[in-house]
Structure 1
Amino acid sequence: LLVFGALALPAHAYLFADLYGWWPLNILLTFAVAVGVLDLSTRGRDELAAAVFVIGGALVEYWWPGVALVIAATWHFQRPTGRTLVLVAVALVGLCAVNLNGWALLALPVAAAAVVWSPTLLRLRWAFWLAYPLHLLAIAILSALMG
């Protein structure tokens, strides 16, 4: 996540310079912060996990609601309960506030259904890792060429 998030930084900063420049850092780094929080929490390093959440959440795309959503969704898919679904819903409401619209709430029925229906999907190990930075680079090049 850190490597491919860093690879995506130049294109991401170029594409969104008019909106906010280099900050917040791209979604792969949002995922990296969430994974760091989950890993530290699992190891019993809750204070450090909280610090990574607070500091990292201030630096990444979708801020704390984005990090919280990844964490809540992970907990929900590991051990689905009504409580974890509520945590997902709260994170989605936070995401709606960041995005200034309610579209993120459409993911809630998917999260609820995914615990009872989980289709087997083909996984191409490097497809996602390469697709994110490469699609940003392609859009940045097209944007530069079109002026």
Structure 2
Amino acid sequence: MTSGGRELLKWIALVLMTGDHVLTVFGLGYVPVVSELGRVAFPVFALVMAYNLAQPGADAGKSARRLALWGLVATPAATLAFGQILPLNVLLTFAAAAGGIWALERRQWALVALLALVAPVALDYAWPGVWLVLTCWRWHRGQGGQPWLVWGCMGLLCLYNGNAWALLAIPLLRLGHVDVAIPRLGRVFYGYYVGHLAALSLGAAILV
């Protein structure tokens, strides 16, 4: 995938995620198209993240620390937005996945088990979410990963969601190969995640 193509996918996923969160926070229930497309956001983010961390020179430890920090910052806003602290927000899911990759690279199996088997019980998208990133990363790295493991995790994600709409992320990934000039704005995505949850919480408190 191209750098610009990956950024394009992330912007698309951000829009889909926002629509899904609007429905959830304002208690609007099922809305055709918006509800379905909301299930596509997470796997797109996950698959792009796995691809990025599989590139030479990628620093999974740095990514894990950054995601964990932003995930902690987002926790109050996510708690207000969704009315519960558990499962912990998706940034912490991605932090666990990045930490698991860092541990796999160093063969720290106890830490791998903690992040991939224990921690997901408290995280959004649980085990399918963390495992999808890990299996896709291993596949891209050519370290014994197999496509069927990625597909298996996609299947588990569909079971978690209660529908198969997440599979739309697979054809959507073709856009990642488009050669477009979109700069990388990683911190903008983190800030947006926190900010939009806070704004939605405020809006719901006023209007609902």
**1:47 Cα shift?**
2.8
Residues 121-146 of structure 1 deviation map (CA, whole Å, 9 limit, x = unaligned) = 42123211111111111111111111
Match of 1:132 among 178, 187, 193: 193
Question: What's 2:136 paired with?
Answer: 73
Identical counterparts, % of pairs: 33
Question: What's 1:101 paired with?
Answer: 163
Of structures 1 and 2, the one scoring higher in RCO (CA 8 A, sep 6+) is 2
Question: What's 1:8 paired with?
Answer: 74
Counterparts of 1:118 and 1:110, CA distance in 2: 11
Structure 2 residue matching 1:64: 3-state secondary structure: helix
Structure 1 138/80 Cα, relative in aligned 2: closer, same or farther at 3 Å? farther
Residues 100-127 of structure 1 deviation map (CA, whole Å, 9 limit, x = unaligned) = 110111123345x479x36454212321
Counterparts of 2:133 and 2:168, CA distance in 1: 16
Counterparts of 1:125 and 1:109, CA distance in 2: 24
Structure 1 residue matching 2:101: 3-state secondary structure: helix
- AA aligned opposite 1:23: L
Counterparts of 2:194 and 2:80, CA distance in 1: 12
Divergent runs of 4+, >4 A: none
Gaps spanning 5+ residues in structure 1: where? none
Counterparts of 2:164 and 2:198, CA distance in 1: 29
TM-score, with normalisation over the residues of structure 2? 0.61
Does structure 1 residue 41 correspond to structure 2 residue 104?
yes
Structure 2 residue matching 1:71: 3-state secondary structure: helix
- AA aligned opposite 2:75: L
Question: What's 1:56 paired with?
Answer: 119
Question: What's 2:55 paired with?
Answer: none
Question: What's 2:8 paired with?
Answer: none
Match of 1:25 among 88, 102, 107: 88
Counterparts of 2:143 and 2:168, CA distance in 1: 18
Structure 2 residue matching 1:126: 3-state secondary structure: helix
Residues 9-49 of structure 1 deviation map (CA, whole Å, 9 limit, x = unaligned) = 112112212xxx11000000000010111111111112321
Counterparts of 1:63 and 1:44, CA distance in 2: 23
